[in-house]
Structure 1
Amino acid sequence: MKIGLYFGTFNPIHVGHLIIANHMAEYSDLDRIWLVVTPHNPFKKKNTLLDNHHRFDMVYEATKDYDKLEASDIEFKLPQPSYTINTLTYLLEKHPNHEFSLIMGEDNLKGFHKWKNNDIILEHHEIYVYPRISEGKTETQLLNHPKIHQIKAPIMEISSTFIRQAVRDGKSCKPLLPEHVWKYIDDMNFYK
């Protein structure tokens, strides 16, 4: 089975994440998409994150009605901070019959050269890239690499940062969140 790994802090997960994940499941050769909730991204400050289990619960609630999407807490069991190469190595050991690929926005591809063991990742895994509106250019050698696939997906400019700020400001951002996630955030009084 070919699994696409869509990593994120999902703080919170929003409809943009679901649209991208579902698009990858339906319009690429990936069989399933695992939305991998990251405990700590080495490039982000940890103090802005909700507890791991809350973010996982929201991703679970958001994906439970989709046959090809699944919430994953695999990185909760691994040493912190989480590095993609370590997660991929662990997954290959646990699931030798699966093929794992990465899903990332074009903006993340621009910084891929900074990732730990990026050359090994690219040697053994495919990368599916969805478009993002961002500044700067992606290296041509990456865009033309045979293991990097650009997928024509809807451009989503919804951000978790915007949603957290909107909630803090008392604004309604209910249309930007799956219904179960909005209820979870509201019930738990998060981001206020």
Structure 2
Amino acid sequence: MHIVLFSGSFSPFHNGHFSLVKELIERKEVDQVWISVTPLNPHKSSSDLWPLDFRKLLVREVYRDCPNVFITEIEETLSFPLYTYNTLKALQESYTENTFSLLVGGDNFHNFNTWYNAENLLREFTLYIFPRETDIQGSTTFMKNKGIHWLNVSTIDISSTIIRKKIENGEQIKDLVPSCIEQKIVSYIKI
């Protein structure tokens, strides 16, 4: 089975994430998408993160009835700092019957040369990159690599940061997050 890992902070998970996963599944680009809500991204500040259990609850709610999407907690078993290469290696070693790839946003790929073990990651795993409107198609060192596939998918150009700012400003987030988690997010913020 071909599985693509979609790992991120998802603080919060939003319609951009949702539409991408939906499109990959509908196009049959991969057999399954495994989502890892990372406890702590080594490239991000922990102050931007909502509690891990809450972030996982939101993603589980979105995909509770979707058999092609699985929420993995593999990163919770790994040592810090959490690096994508180590996560993929752990998955490949635990599920040897499957082939794993990585789904990453073009905004994150732009800094790919700073990732831990970037060259080995590219040598051992396929990367599926979804461009965002603000991207320059990533690091020129890696962008032509045969292990990289630029996806021609329609994405919604929003970010978790924008959503958090809107919430802080008392603005609506109705069209930015899946409807099944909107009220949970608003209730959480009011606590």
Q: Do the two structures share a fold, i.e. TM-score over 0.5?
A: yes
Checking the alignment, whether the CA contact within 8 Å between 2:4 and 2:101 is kept in structure 1 is yes
Report the counterpart of residue 62 of structure 1 in structure 2: 62
Q: Could you list the runs of 4 or more consecutive aligned residues of structure 1 that deviate by over 4 angstroms after TM superposition?
A: none
Report the counterpart of residue 154 of structure 1 in structure 2: 154
Checking the alignment, whether the CA contact within 8 Å between 1:103 and 1:127 is kept in structure 2 is yes
Checking the alignment, whether the CA contact within 8 Å between 1:64 and 1:70 is kept in structure 2 is no
Report the counterpart of residue 166 of structure 2 in structure 1: 166
Checking the alignment, whether the CA contact within 8 Å between 2:5 and 2:33 is kept in structure 1 is yes
Q: Deviations over 1:6-42 (max 9, x none)?
A: 1110000011101011112233531111121011111
Q: Which runs of 5+ in 2 are unaligned?
A: none
Report the counterpart of residue 131 of structure 2 in structure 1: 131
Checking the alignment, whether the CA contact within 8 Å between 2:113 and 2:139 is kept in structure 1 is no
Report the counterpart of residue 18 of structure 1 in structure 2: 18
Checking the alignment, whether the CA contact within 8 Å between 2:106 and 2:137 is kept in structure 1 is no
Report the counterpart of residue 188 of structure 1 in structure 2: 188
Q: Deviations over 1:150-169 (max 9, x none)?
A: 11011321111111111111
Question: Which moves more between the two structures, 81-90 or 9-18?
Answer: 81-90
Count of residues in Structure 1 that have an aligned counterpart in Structure 2? 191
TM-score (norm 2): 0.92
Report the counterpart of residue 91 of structure 2 in structure 1: 91
The residue type equivalent to 1:63 in the other structure is Y
The residue type equivalent to 1:11 in the other structure is S
The alpha-carbon deviation at position 68 of structure 1 amounts to 1.7
Checking the alignment, whether the CA contact within 8 Å between 1:22 and 1:68 is kept in structure 2 is no
TM-score (norm 1): 0.91
Q: Secondary structure at the match of 1:129?
A: strand
The residue type equivalent to 2:23 in the other structure is H
* Structure 1 residues 29 and 155, CA gap change in structure 2 (3 angstroms): closer
Report the counterpart of residue 71 of structure 2 in structure 1: 71
* Structure 1 residues 148 and 186, CA gap change in structure 2 (3 angstroms): same
Report the counterpart of residue 109 of structure 1 in structure 2: 109
Q: Deviations over 1:127-166 (max 9, x none)?
A: 0011112254534453322111111011321111111111
- Cα distance in 2, alignment partners of residues 33 and 137 from structure 1: 23
Q: Which runs of 5+ in 1 are unaligned?
A: none
